[in-house]
Homo-oligomer: A and B are copies of this chain.
């Protein structure tokens, strides 16, 4: 029973990495089994189909959001606006560390699979929502520095949009320049939003 959980975990973790690096369709069950050091009997004991394994991987990503993505940044940065840019910088460093093969695993799967399987699409959307909820919370914590009429939910969605689009271009160009360009523009946008706020406080 203890060993079986270890095997299941190893299968999910191996599949997670391979789906990330190669995509879902391009990753064969045989490769997952080989790299996880397991046999097909074990995999199909836990997961009736390859797609069930994918769903478990997407559940794992939901569980990893706070401990692996947000909390390491939040532990080092307290200012809520800087937390947003700290999260973005973590993705930037991930790109550099993986020589532009990394990026965002959810984004990859979103474009590959959003049409195919409804349940999978729902889990991808839930991963996005978990991410933007955290960004949204940062923006709410900095509400007094932003114009009162800013739609913070919309702005949080925009932050994810910018991150995903920037990662995509960096992978195509194998360069961090598109990311740096995107962050520079997003930072400029935030600066202008916060400048307006400080003006309206003075004049109001």
Contacts and interface: CB of A to CB of B under 8 A. Distances in A.
A185 B172 contact: no
Contacts of A173: 125, 128
Given A128-B172, A158-B182, A166-B165, A112 B192 contact: no
A33 interface: no
Given A25-B26, A112-B23, A188-B189, A182 B157 contact: yes
Interface string A151-180: 101110110111111101101111001100
Q: How many copies does the complex hold?
A: 2
Interface stretch (A8-16, A38-46, A78-86, A103-111): A103-111
Contacts of A160: 165, 169
A21 interface: yes
Given A157-B169, A165-B168, A188-B189, A108 B112 contact: yes
Contacts of A169: 110, 128, 157, 160-161, 164
Contacts of A112: 23, 26, 108, 111-112
A114 interface: yes
Nearest to A118: B174
A131 B96 CA distance: 25
Given A158-B181, A161-B162, A174 B111 contact: no
Interface of A: 21-23, 25-26, 100-101, 103, 107-108, 110-112, 114-116, 121, 124-125, 128, 151, 153-155, 157-158, 160-166, 168-169, 171-174, 177-178, 181-182, 184-186, 188-189, 192, 196
